[in-house]
Amino acid sequence: MSHSLTILFFLRTSKTNPTTGEAPVYIRMTVASQRAEISAKRSVLPSRWEGGAGKVKGTKEDARTLNTYLDTLRAKLNKQFNQLLSGDEPVTAELLKNAFLNKVAPSKSIMEVLDYHNAQVAARVGTDYAPATLRRYRVGLKKVKLFMKQQYQRTDMPLDQLNRRFITEFEHFLKTVEGIQHNTAMNYIKYLKKTVLLALSYEWLDKNPFVGIKHSIREVTREFLSTEELARMVEKPFSIRRLDEVRDIFVFSCYTGYAYADVLKLTPDHILTGINGKKWIMTQRIKTETRSNVPLLPPALAILAKYAQDPECLAKERLLPVKSNQKMNAYLKEVADMCGITKPLTFHIARHTFATTVTLTNGVPIETVSSMLGHKNLRTTQIYAKVVEHKVGEDMDRLEERLAKPAVPTNSLRELSA
């Protein structure tokens, strides 16, 4: 960190008073190539200002008075700067500005803001946030802490040091040192941005370091079960109870589109009669806080009937005996092996299967699918439509290959034409 201070007095002509014609005098402080500006609380006619020298022209009384005042400000700034240098905290232009204006330097640190944000989310789990969201934010906090420890040899830093360079280097750290894929890294960046916006709203931070920084999510191929794979899983008998239950819950999600967190919360009160006189599930998605009303297809109804008198479900007032997400995904791997499914099965694949194999592939309009999935934006659902289009393309390519092969041997064609 450079220990030099440059002070420049200049006119801010963009703020010229239309009545008097005078422009305000501003002070620009530069420390280690970083700038901060404050008003000198004085104004002067631009014609009387000597820009190169940073003072008022002439020797008249008012000119001498104003120039003396500016010299006093320069001396005070230099004194304040030297006092800050004697402290332990790195001196920045913004720190000097705050100290000179008798403001308390930002007392919040990066970790304090992240902790504050996560504590607010923790208090609203079950109402506004899902437990998985809190877990993701806590992992994000750990990633930021690891980054600061490696990059700056510190476990915390002043909030005003969270700048554009910090963000860029954090992304680099996630992708190289942590080996995290692009989209996952973007989720951690979004978490950091969310806490920055919180700090700005509470005026703990003066500037938004994310201004001008764009981060985009890359499209990924959504894995889902084909019709044949889904049928294989439905028809597979299981002698182990836990695997039978996990298979049933997974298949239920394949026919309703509900994510793990939503299936976990389902109670008998969520089963209502829909506009068509049949049974529907009517609930609100935890993740997006949107309505997700889904008519119950026969396979889903059969699974609910199977567990209607299950002791565990009755005791917990739940529709299905859902295990922890970790156990569900672990058991699903066993289910996949026993069904001969080689895809890396996770519970969320059931939601993808509902969107593609069960609905879109069978001609259900995308607007209807979007409503049942509880998506806020149709563009989110269009990701699945692209997957279906890709599958259609592959099927048509295979058809084209079959059609290209002669149905009758060439010699036979010659004989027929003779």
Q: Above pLDDT 90, what percent of the chain?
A: 47
Using the 3D structure, point to which of 50, 73, 100 is the last residue of a domain: 100
Range with lowest mean pLDDT among 32-41, 161-170, 219-228: 219-228
Task: Look at residue 416 in the predicted model and tell me its pLDDT.
Answer: 46
Using the 3D structure, point to which of 100, 128, 148 is the last residue of a domain: 100
Condensed to tens digits (0 to 9), the pLDDT of residues 195-214 reads 999 998 887 887 899 998 88
The verdict on residue 409 lying in a domain is no
Instruction: Give the CATH number, domain containing residue 364.
Output: 1.10.443.10
Q: Are both 94 and 122 inside the same structural domain?
A: no
Q: Are both 368 and 280 inside the same structural domain?
A: yes
Task: Look at residue 413 in the predicted model and tell me its pLDDT.
Answer: 46
The verdict on residue 194 lying in a domain is yes
Q: Are both 308 and 269 inside the same structural domain?
A: yes
Question: Phi and psi at residue 119, in whole multiples of 5°?
Answer: -65, -40
Q: Pick from 160, 75, 164, 148: which is nearest to 113 by CA? A: 160
Condensed to tens digits (0 to 9), the pLDDT of residues 97-119 reads 888 886 544 468 899 999 999 99
Query: Does the pLDDT at position 409 exceed 60?
Result: no
Domain that holds residue 38: 5-100
What total number of domains does the chain contain? 3
Condensed to tens digits (0 to 9), the pLDDT of residues 12-21 reads 999 888 888 9
How much is the pTM? 0.54
The verdict on residue 398 lying in a domain is no
The verdict on residue 92 lying in a domain is yes
Q: Are both 175 and 260 inside the same structural domain?
A: no
The verdict on residue 85 lying in a domain is yes
The verdict on residue 221 lying in a domain is no
Instruction: Band the pLDDT of 155: cuts 50, 70, 90.
Output: confident
Q: Are both 292 and 364 inside the same structural domain?
A: yes
Using the 3D structure, point to which of 100, 128, 154 is the last residue of a domain: 100
Q: Are both 246 and 349 inside the same structural domain?
A: yes
Condensed to tens digits (0 to 9), the pLDDT of residues 273-319 reads 888 889 999 887 655 566 778 889 999 999 999 999 999 999 999 99
Q: Are both 53 and 127 inside the same structural domain?
A: no
Q: What is the mean pLDDT of the chain?
A: 86
Instruction: Band the pLDDT of 9: cuts 50, 70, 90.
Output: very high
Instruction: Band the pLDDT of 411: cuts 50, 70, 90.
Output: low
Query: Does the pLDDT at position 162 exceed 70?
Result: yes
Task: Look at residue 381 in the predicted model and tell me its pLDDT.
Answer: 72
Token pair for 13: 């002509």
Q: Are both 188 and 263 inside the same structural domain?
A: no
Condensed to tens digits (0 to 9), the pLDDT of residues 226-277 reads 999 999 999 999 999 999 999 999 999 999 988 888 899 899 999 998 888 8
The verdict on residue 140 lying in a domain is yes
Task: Look at residue 282 in the predicted model and tell me its pLDDT.
Answer: 86
Q: Are both 136 and 57 inside the same structural domain?
A: no
Q: Are both 237 and 314 inside the same structural domain?
A: yes
| Residue bearing tokens 């003396």 | 68
Task: Look at residue 99 in the predicted model and tell me its pLDDT.
Answer: 84
Task: Look at residue 1 in the predicted model and tell me its pLDDT.
Answer: 47
Q: Are both 357 and 260 inside the same structural domain?
A: yes
The larger pLDDT score, comparing residue 340 to residue 378, is at 340
- What average pLDDT does range 161-167 have in this prediction? 91
Q: Are both 311 and 345 inside the same structural domain?
A: yes
The verdict on residue 41 lying in a domain is yes
Task: Look at residue 171 in the predicted model and tell me its pLDDT.
Answer: 95
